[in-house]
Amino acid sequence: MILLIDAYNVLKQIVSSDQATPQEKTAFIATIGQYARLKNISIELVFDGGPYGLPDRVLVKNVVISHSGAQESADDLIKSLIHAYKGRDVLLVSTDRELGRYASLHGVESIDSADFYRLVRKALDAVESPHKKGPKNLVKIIEESDPEVDALMAEFTVTIKKGPPETSLLEKRSPSERKGSKQERRLEKKIRKL
């Protein structure tokens, strides 16, 4: 499967400001690279603009990074890539409705940027968390304050989120809605790969 990612669209979901810094962009690319290796999938990140205003494509640690250049938008480049990948197993990651409709008209399913990034974090956190696991029941038995003991307690303490548990993208629909169209079933199959 090839993930075709509207990169700034996803990046806007995870940075606090409207404009991502070069460090945030680099960290994002590294995170997506880890995810691509973990899931063994091909990923193409498509960014607007570029370092010199010219379109470019670079392979960085199994992720293709494309910039649209000054003359074209990332959306236009994504549309041309949809045509270039015709007949292949492609999933578009973007919250842009127009781009989603275009992809759908050309037989490519799409997933929301925020939903995709949650799946990325969940997969990467699951890999990282076994290294942080310690004994299941930690009990502080001394009353004095000891910074080292307090740091260990904090490191191995489990935080419980308030509110309803998160449901997966596949569980959000009722059983009668789960059958869906052929396109919905293809999308579900692709989401399971993520």
Is the predicted pLDDT of residue 40 greater than 70, yes or no? Answer: yes
Q: Are 27 and 33 in contact (CB under 8 A)?
A: no
Q: Which of 16-30, 108-122, 161-175 has the highest mean pLDDT?
A: 108-122
Type of residue at 153: M
Q: pLDDT class for 139, splitting at 50, 70, 90?
A: low
Looking at per-residue pLDDT, the higher value among 61 and 89 belongs to 89
Query: What pLDDT score does 71 carry?
Result: 92
Query: What pLDDT score does 130 carry?
Result: 58
Is the predicted pLDDT of residue 149 greater than 60, yes or no? Answer: yes
Q: Are 11 and 28 in contact (CB under 8 A)?
A: yes
Which percentage of the chain shows pLDDT scores above 90?
A: 54
Q: Cβ neighbours of residue 117 under 8 Å, at least 6 residues apart?
A: 10, 13, 14
**Strand pairing partners for 63?**
43, 60
Rounded distance between C-alpha atoms, residue 164 and residue 96, angstroms: 28
The pLDDT tens digits of the residues spanning 176-192 come to 555 677 778 888 888 88
Q: pLDDT class for 142, splitting at 50, 70, 90?
A: low
Query: What pLDDT score does 15 carry?
Result: 86
Taking each helix axis as running N to C, give the angle between helix 22-39 and helix 7-14, from 0 to 180 degrees, rounded to the nearest 10: 110
